[in-house]
């Protein structure tokens, strides 16, 4: 199974990397390397990851990595990585 990165994921991921790199470029490089390595593990067992909390579809899954959620769709022949969300806690007034 191959992995396809959708533009929606790429744009958000690159934006977050730029944000991290402003403070510490080496941390951004390590984050990029580690997250992409984790994404490359998805095809081995895609249903190992939790069902997405954002969609009501068993084929859409969430990979959790250091407070970020990577959302992907399991197709017959490929994995479409399309979402990248940073965890945000709700602020209670």
Estimate the crossing angle of helix 7-23 against helix 25-39, to 10 degrees. 150
Residue 82, phi then psi, degrees to nearest 5: -130, -15
Per the structure block, which two tokens stand in for 48?
Answer: 């190992």
Q: What is the pLDDT along the chain (93 residues), one digit of tens a residue?
A: 899 999 999 999 999 999 999 999 999 999 999 999 999 999 999 999 999 999 999 999 999 999 999 999 999 999 999 999 987 655 555
> Where do the structural domains in the chain lie, given as residue ranges?
2-86
Task: Answer for the pair 22, 63: CB distance below 8 angstroms, yes or no.
Answer: no
Q: What pTM does this model have?
A: 0.87
Spatial separation of the C-alpha atoms in residues 24 and 30, rounded to whole Å: 10
CA 56 to chain centre: 18
- Please report where in the chains the tokens 């490089």 appear, as a residue: 29
Domain 2-86 in CATH 3.30.2310.20? The answer is: yes
């Amino acid at each position: 199974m191959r992995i396809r990165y959708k533009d929606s994921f790429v744009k958000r991921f690159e934006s977050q990397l730029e944000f991290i790199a402003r403070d510490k470029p080496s941390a951004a490089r390590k984050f990029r390397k580690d997250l992409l390595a984790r994404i490359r593990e998805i095809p081995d067992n895609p249903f190992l990851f939790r069902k997405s909390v954002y969609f009501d579809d068993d084929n859409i899954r969430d990979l959790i990595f250091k407070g970020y959620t990577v959302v992907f769709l399991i197709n017959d022949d490929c994995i479409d990585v399309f979402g990248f969300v940073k965890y945000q806690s709700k602020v209670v007034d």
